[in-house]
Each structure stands twice: as structure tokens, then as C-alpha cells.
Amino acid sequence: MTPPKRIQLRRIPGWRKPQGAIVVARPTKWGNPCRWASGPVTDGVGGSSECTPAEARAIAADGFRRMLADPEVRAVNRYPSDAEIRAELAGRDLACWCPLSSPCHADVLLELANTKAVPDVR
């Protein structure tokens, strides 16, 4: 049996989501409430730098991991419990729009759904 993996959703003729894969993109209940955007990022003290799409996705995935670890923030976002995530996503491939070469909240969900440990907060 192969371990569950992340699948990139596609809008190309003939592409089909693999059978049994669960879509975790927005606006599903599994979507990441942490939004990302590339472009200028300010540091709060007058400096700024450009943020690439991959860097922005990494920030959003990290924000998602932190949201899952904080019960108050998780409650505000009405995000499913760890038990619900494990019950519905364990052993399943997860599909999102993020490129496979970039970090994605689906990676965090795969980790949580398929282990008994709570995901690490970096």
C-alpha cells in the first residue's frame, strides 16, 4: 500500500482527480483560512522585500500549522478537530491547487491525518 500523498488539482483537458482523493482547497471545510499573496512584504519598521509565490505559500502553510496548534485561533476559524481530520482524511490522497514543489497546508493535513502526534509548530 502506498502512503497518502498530495495531488495538484489541474484545469487541463482530460485530467481527472484520482478516485478516492479528497479536495482540501478553498472553499471546502478543509481549506486553509490563512491566505497568501506574493508581492511586497513589509517588516513593520519601514523595510520591505518581495515575496515570491512559493515563499507566500510557505508562510500560509506555516500559519495553518500554527492555527491548528492554537485552540483559540482554531475555534475562531471553526476548523475541524484533529479527531475529525483523522477520521475523514487518514489514508486518503489530498488534492489542492498548490504546485507540488511548494509548501501547502495539505502537507500539514497529511501529517496530522496519518500520525497520532500533533503537528510540530516551527
Show the cell assigned to 106. 495539505
Show the cell assigned to 30. 478543509
Mean pLDDT over each residue of the chain, to the nearest integer = 86
pLDDT band with cut points at 50, 70 and 90 for residue 51:
confident
Question: Does residue 112 register a pLDDT over 90?
Answer: yes
Task: Tell the residue number behind the cell numbers 509548530, with chain if given.
Answer: 121
Show contacts of 34-37: CB within 8 Å, 24+ apart.
Answer: 34/59, 34/60, 34/61, 34/63, 34/64, 34/67, 34/105, 35/60, 36/60
Between these two residues, 108 and 121, which has the higher pLDDT value?
Answer: 108
Antiparallel, parallel or unpaired: β 6-8 and 94-96: parallel
The predicted model scores a pTM of: 0.83
On the question of a cis peptide bond just before residue 27, with omega within 30 degrees of 0, the verdict is yes
